């Protein structure tokens, strides 16, 4: 590849600069602060654009090189690839994409791939070299010739990529970074917070906490179910008992009616007995009166006889007949009264005798009725007792499978009032149990809702855990892929490193007059060199000039391997710390080994020009001061 010319309309302090370049060696001469470094940067930015990202610097390239006094921030470059294709690139740096022309001045910009963030990556497509590699190989700047360990490893890696795959962009590091990025995005790590594995773990922890809080509802459900079953069983038993007690009450109600009938018979019997007693008393009273009357009758006759005798004696013994008649009148009246009383007494006795006979007849009737009531009462009582025993037997038979026999027997012998009281107690117990059952059923609804939530959580937890297993499996797959890739890269690198190291050693040996023959580049320590006693030390421990030799050799060695295109070698004050011998050796080596590469040397001294003159090497001089 050869750069024919470039035109700077405005870039940093540079304005309206037209530079023509030739094949071979070009020296661009200018004093310090003449814009040489800006011109070098312009070439790079024409190929890759002026980034607005700082990339670890204090200021971005876009801001650094945006002209202060000129609105023009643009330029053009034309170049020819090794295959003869001619291109002109015009770029306004404030726009993402340049305009690319072919040799017929046709706009062919759309024929190249476009990156959404970086724009048209035409130069990478043409050369296979990205901006980082371009700076690590084709360009060497003063104070920047030394490569960091990262850059050294990057060069080795790109060479490994190129040799192993034919494409330096198929990078082991990029692949590893890409896999790691995908692994982080699709899975995550313990140190990430919003990646799938972290989200899944967070969900799992949250679901486990929710599950734990809801687990107690399982226990409550079991306890509630047991209590509910116990209550239902108790209610059923109590209802059987209540039904049993009601039957007893009904039987007792019936028995009370029959007992009342029996008592009625017994009361009648007692009434008859009382009446009989009363009648017997009357008979006894009549007998006493009759006896009294008999005594009175006897006394009456005696009194009558005495009076009669007294009356006769009075008459017989009285001297005076008239005087004797006077006491006769009361005596006659007394006798008459006695006779009248006697007649009445006899009538009373007759009446009494009739009354006694009637009472006796009545007593006989009452005794018969009393006997009938007794027999009827005994018959009814017998039947009632029989029925009671029968009812007891039937009740025992009916309820013995549902109620404890002791409870049955105990209540069969209770009174009506006791049974009524027991029924009330059972009603209260049943109502209390039903109220508790209703409360449990209401609570059960809440528990069931919680258990439904628990079931959903368990189902979700199972799904999330499966998702986690899939993530772990995917993570294992990524780890296996990375392990395999790393092993493969190590093998490729082991095969490539000797060739690259040998080439690098040859360059350093030639430009250092065989002082340093063996050089190695390691991932961990970077550029190491073998010294005279056989030890390998870091190149950073050598003199500044030797260090620059080493790293320039590393760049040139890498440039040969990094692309199929013969890239321009751009050197910006790269030989400031080279003594004359080193400068002579490096320029001679570049001339002899990079004949197909265009060489562009930016310098503020005549050393390069004088050395090339002494070596009779042709060059094209561009003086920025003119």
Q: Please say if the pLDDT value at position 19 is more than 90.
A: yes
For 362, the token pair is 């009545």
At residue 285, the pLDDT reads 76
Q: How far is CA 40 from CA 239, 272, 390, in A?
A: 106, 153, 128
pLDDT at 493: 59
Question: What does the pLDDT average to over 403-432?
Answer: 88
Q: Does residue 151 register a pLDDT over 50?
A: no
Percent of the chain with pLDDT over 90: 19
pLDDT of residue 307 exceeding 90: no
Enter the DSSP assignment of 57: S
pTM here is: 0.49
Of the pLDDT bands very low, low, confident and very high (cuts 50, 70, 90), residue 523 is low
Q: How much is the pLDDT for 392? A: 85
Residue 385 Cα distances to 127, 378, 468, angstroms:
126, 10, 82
Helix (H, G, I), strand (E, B) or coil at 599: strand
What pLDDT does 193 receive? 77
- Mean of the pLDDT values across residues 33-44? 89
| Residue 311: predicted pLDDT | 67
Q: Above 90 in pLDDT, residue 217?
A: no
3-state secondary structure of 414: coil
80 three-state secondary structure: strand
pLDDT at 280 over 80: yes
pLDDT single digits (tens) 435-458: 988 888 887 777 777 777 778 888
Contact criterion met (CB below 8 Å) for 508 and 549: yes
Higher local confidence (pLDDT), 286 or 415: 415
pLDDT value of position 503? 67
Please tell me the distance from the alpha carbon of residue 367 to that of residue 370, in angstroms, as a whole number.
5
**Closest to 475 measured CA to CA, from 232, 85, 201:** 201
pLDDT(576) > 50: yes
Task: Kindly list the distances between the CA atom of residue 45 and the CA atoms of 4, 40, 168, 360, 433, in Å, as whole numbers in the listed order.
Answer: 16, 9, 21, 159, 91
Q: How many CA atoms lie within 13 A of 207 on its CB side?
A: 19
Mean pLDDT for 109-122 is: 88
Q: What is the DSSP string of 196-234?
A: HHHHHHHHHHHHHHHHHHHHHHHHHHHHHHHHHHHHHHH
Residue 480 token pair: 């296996």
* Residue 292: predicted pLDDT: 56
Band (pLDDT 50/70/90 cuts) for residue 549 is: low
Residue ranges of domains in the chain, CATH in brackets: 1-128+566-626 (3.40.50.300)
Q: What is the mean pLDDT of residues 41-57?
A: 88
What ranges make up the beta strands (E) of 73-159? Answer: 74-80, 86-92, 99-101, 114-115, 119-120, 139-141
User: To the nearest whole number, what is the mean pLDDT of the chain?
Assistant: 80
* Average pLDDT of the residues in 589-616: 91
Q: Is residue 149 scored above 60 in pLDDT?
A: no
Q: Which two tokens stand for residue 160?
A: 């490994």
**Residue 579 CB neighbours (<10 A):** 11
State pLDDT tens for residues 172-208: 667 778 888 887 888 888 777 788 888 888 888 888 8
Characterize the bridge pairing of strands 526-530 and 519-522. Answer: antiparallel
pLDDT reading at 400 higher than 80: yes
Residues 2-18 have a mean pLDDT of: 93
170, pLDDT greater than 60: no
In this prediction, residues 124-150 reach a mean pLDDT of 72
- Whether residue 601 contacts residue 22, with contact meaning beta carbons closer than 8 Å, is answered with no
Cβ distance 447 to 263 under 8 Å? no
Contact 46, 75 (CB under 8 A): yes
| pLDDT above 50: residue 166 | no
- The pLDDT assigned to 204 comes to 84
Model pLDDT, residue 225:
81
> Using CA atoms, how far apart are residues 461 and 471, in angstroms rounded to an integer?
15
Burial level of 555, CB count in 10 A (0-12/13-18/19+)?
buried
For residue 289, the model assigns a pLDDT of: 59
CA angle at residue 511 from 510 to 514, to 5 degrees? 50
> How confident is the model at residue 501, as a pLDDT?
67
H helix intervals, 144-193: 149-165, 172-186
Instruction: Output the pLDDT for position 521.
Output: 67
Here the tokens at position 85 are 């294709």
CA distance 302 to 451: 122
* Residue of higher predicted confidence among 552 and 617: 617
């Amino acid at each position: 590849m050869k750069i024919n010319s470039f035109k700077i309309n405005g870039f940093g302090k540079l304005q309206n600069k037209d530079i023509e370049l030739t094949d071979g060696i070009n020296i661009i001469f200018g004093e310090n602060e003449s814009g040489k470094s800006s011109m070098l940067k312009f070439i790079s930015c024409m190929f890759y654009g002026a980034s607005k990202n700082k990339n670890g610097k204090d200021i971005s390239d876009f801001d650094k090189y945006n002209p202060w006094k000129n609105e023009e921030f643009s330029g053009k470059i034309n170049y020819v690839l090794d295959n003869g294709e001619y291109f002109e690139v015009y770029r306004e740096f404030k726009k993402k994409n340049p305009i690319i022309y072919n040799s017929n001045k046709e706009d062919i910009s759309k024929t190249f791939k476009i990156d959404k963030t970086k724009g048209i990556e035409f130069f990478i497509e043409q050369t296979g070299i990205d901006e980082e590699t371009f700076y690590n190989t084709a360009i060497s700047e003063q104070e920047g010739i030394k490569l960091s360990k990262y850059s050294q490893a990057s060069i080795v890696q790109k060479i490994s990529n190129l040799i192993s795959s034919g494409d330096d962009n198929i990078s082991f590091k990029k692949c590893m970074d890409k896999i790691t990025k995908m692994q982080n995005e699709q899975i995550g790590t313990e140190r990430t917070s919003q990646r799938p594995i972290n989200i899944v773990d967070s969900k799992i922890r949250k679901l486990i906490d929710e599950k734990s809080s809801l687990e107690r509802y399982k226990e409550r459900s079991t306890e509630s179910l047991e209590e509910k079953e116990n209550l239902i069983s108790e209610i059923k038993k109590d209802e059987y008992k209540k039904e049993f007690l009601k039957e007893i009450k009904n039987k007792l109600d019936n028995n009370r009616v029959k007992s009342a009938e029996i008592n009625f018979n017994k009361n009648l019997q007692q009434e008859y007995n009382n009446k009989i007693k009363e009648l017997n008393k009357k008979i006894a009273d009549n007998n006493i009166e009759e006896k009294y009357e008999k005594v009175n009758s006897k006394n009456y006759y005696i009194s009558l006889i005495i009076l009669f005798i007294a009356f006769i004696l009075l008459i017989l013994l009285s001297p005076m007949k008239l005087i004797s008649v006077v006491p006769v009148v009361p005596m006659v009246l007394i006798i008459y009264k006695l006779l009248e009383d006697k007649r009445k007494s006899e009538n009373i006795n007759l009446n009494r005798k009739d009354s006694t006979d009637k009472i006796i007849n009545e007593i006989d009737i009452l005794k018969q009725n009393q006997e009938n009531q007794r027999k009827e009462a005994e018959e009814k009582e017998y039947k009632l007792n029989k029925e009671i025993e029968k009812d007891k037997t039937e009740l025992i038979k009916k309820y013995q499978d549902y109620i404890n026999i002791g409870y049955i027997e105990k209540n069969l012998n209770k009174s009506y009032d006791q049974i009524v009281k027991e029924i009330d107690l059972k009603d209260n117990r049943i109502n209390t149990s039903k109220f508790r059952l209703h409360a449990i059923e209401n609570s059960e609804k809440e528990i069931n809702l919680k258990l439904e939530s628990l079931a959903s959580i368990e189902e979700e937890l199972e799904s999330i855990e499966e998702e986690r297993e899939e993530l772990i499996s995917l993570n294992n797959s990524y780890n296996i892929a990375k392990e395999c890739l790393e092993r493969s890269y190590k093998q490729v690198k082991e095969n490539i490193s000797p060739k690259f190291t040998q080439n690098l050693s040859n360059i350093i040996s030639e430009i250092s007059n065989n002082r340093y023959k063996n050089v190695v580049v390691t991932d961990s320590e970077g550029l190491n060199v073998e010294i005279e006693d056989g030890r390998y030390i870091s190149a950073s421990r050598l003199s500044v000039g030797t260090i620059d030799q080493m790293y320039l050799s590393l760049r040139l060695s890498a440039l040969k391997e990094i692309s199929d295109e013969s890239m321009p070698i751009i050197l910006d004050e790269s030989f400031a710390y080279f003594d004359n011998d080193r400068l002579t050796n490096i320029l001679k080596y570049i001339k002899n080994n990079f004949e197909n590469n265009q060489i562009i040397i930016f310098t503020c001294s005549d050393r390069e020009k004088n050395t090339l003159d002494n070596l009779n090497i042709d060059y094209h001089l561009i003086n920025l001061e003119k």
